[in-house]
Amino acid sequence: MKIGLTTRAAVAADADAVCTVLRLAILETCVDDHRHEPAILDAWLGNKHPAQVAAWMAVPANYMVVAEMALADQPHVAGGDIGSVGIVGVALINQAGKLALCHVLPQAQRHGVGTALLRAAEAKAREWGVGTVRIDGTRNSQQFYARFGYNDAGRDKTSYGLECNLLWKELNASPGTSPGTSPGHNSGSKRFCSCNPHPSL
């Protein structure tokens, strides 16, 4: 049962809970992508620790948003006990239009958490004046993003060796019109997140 799903900007004190969400989401819901291959998992999870997460939060060009919700029948909500409000999802977008993170705690999926995170991230992008958002889509996420108007630009490879699909969306495109901006275009902004030397977090 979900109770009071809310989103807010992340703060440094959230770093531990955010790491729990990231690691569990990758390990449990992205199996089709990492296939339990140690090299991929080590690279993918290697920077998912509290100090690095707090550093990402501190970069002015980044916006990290967390989703909080009480799951009365779920004992493992990050940062809380049964019935308490805890962090169940996290997203990070930067001023280059890169949606670098968008993950939901496995037991909190299908409760609208991903939708809330994506809407919050897109709202921040619009506030910044970003015209195009893009994300490296995992196999389990592609249908989700397609429902929100994200286009598939073909196969891509992340810095940690994962084959994915580059997904993109024009935020100001009208329904039914053909996008007029390429997935790499972003009003002169730099292409990748300043919080990491690689394009993928």
Q: Report the pLDDT value the prediction gives residue 139, as an integer from 0 to 100.
A: 81
pLDDT attached to residue 198: 36
In this prediction, residue 142 carries a pLDDT of 87
Mean pLDDT score across all residues of the chain: 80
**This prediction's pTM:** 0.78
**For the range 28-31, what are the long-range contacts, defined as Cβ-Cβ under 8 Å and sequence gap of 24 or more?**
28/106, 29/104, 29/106, 29/109, 29/140, 30/138, 30/139, 30/140
**pLDDT tens for each residue of 44-62:** 788 899 999 999 999 999 9
Residues of the chain above pLDDT 70, percent: 74
Query: Residue 197: what pLDDT?
Result: 33
More confidently predicted of 188 and 144: 144
- pLDDT score at 84: 66
**Per-domain residue ranges for the chain?**
2-170
Helix axes 15-29, 50-58, angle to 10 degrees: 110
Read off the pLDDT of residues 148-195 as tens digits, 9 standing for 90 and up.
999 999 887 776 667 888 999 999 744 443 333 444 444 333 333 333
Paired strand residues for 63:
93
Q: Which residues of 61-90 are buried (b: 16+ CB within 10 A; e: fewer)?
A: ebbbbbbbbbbeebebbbbbeeeebbbbbb
Q: Which of 3-12, 115-124, 138-147, 192-201 has the lowest mean pLDDT?
A: 192-201
What is the pLDDT confidence band of residue 39, given thresholds at 50, 70 and 90? confident
Give the separation between CA 96 and CA 110, rounded to whole angstroms.
29
Is the alpha carbon torsion for 169, 155, 101, 58 positive or negative?
A: negative
Q: What is the CATH code of the structural domain delimited by 2-170? A: 3.40.630.30
Per-residue CA distances from 33 to 47, 100, 118, 163 (Å): 18, 16, 21, 8
Q: How far apart are the C-alpha atoms of 118 and 102, rounded to whole Å?
A: 7
